[in-house]
Amino acid sequence: MDIEKNKKILIIGASGDLGFDLLKGLSDSAVTIGVHCFHNKSRLEKFIEKPHAAKIKIFSGDVSSQGSSQKIIDAFVKWAGGIDHLIQLSGAVQKPEDWKTLTQEQWDRDIAVNLTGPYFLAQQAMNHMLKHGGKVIFTSTASAAHGGGGNSMAYGAAKAGIECITKGLARQGAPYNILVNAVAPGFIMTKFHADQMKRTREDLKKRGDLVPLKRAGEAKDVTGIITYLLSKSGDFVTGQVIAVSGGDWL
Ligand X SMILES: NC(=O)c1ccc[n+]([C@@H]2O[C@H](COP(=O)([O-])OP(=O)(O)OC[C@H]3O[C@@H](n4cnc5c(N)ncnc54)[C@H](OP(=O)(O)O)[C@@H]3O)[C@@H](O)[C@H]2O)c1
Catalytic residue positions, numbered: 155
Binding of ligand X by 69 (CB under 6 A) = no
The correct pick among 27, 32, 69, 90 for binding ligand X (CB under 6 A) is: 90
Q: Which of 9, 18, 73, 165 binds ligand X (CB under 6 A)?
A: 18
Report long-range pairs for 99-102 (Cβ below 8 Å, ≥24 apart): 99/150, 99/151, 99/153, 102/153, 102/154
Task: Show Cβ contacts of residue 153 under 8 Å, excluding neighbours closer than 6 positions.
Answer: 99, 102, 107
C-beta of residue 242 within 8 angstroms of C-beta of residue 181:
yes
110 vs 184: CA distance, rounded Å? 17
| Of 65, 46, 66, 64, the residue nearest 56 (C-alpha) | 46
Find the shortest distance in angstroms from Cβ 88 to ligand X.
7
Rounded distance, CA 221 to CA 167, Å? 23
Residues 208-227 close enough to bind ligand X by CB under 6 A: none
- Does 187 bind ligand X (CB under 6 A)? Our answer is yes
- Of 65 and 177, the one with the shorter C-beta distance to ligand X is 65
Site for ligand X contains 39 (CB under 6 A) = yes
Q: Per rule CB under 6 A, is residue 87 in the interface with ligand X?
A: no
Site string for ligand X, 128-147 (x = CB under 6 A): -----------x-x------
- Least CB distance to ligand X at residue 176 (A): 25
DSSP 85-96: EEEE-----SS-
40 contributes a contact to ligand X by CB under 6 A: yes
Question: Is 125 strand, coil or helix?
Answer: helix
User: Which range touches ligand X (CB under 6 A), out of 14-22, 45-53, 164-172, 202-210?
Assistant: 14-22
The footprint of ligand X (CB under 6 A) covers 13, 15-19, 37-40, 62-64, 89-92, 113, 139, 141, 185, 187-188, 190-192, 195-196
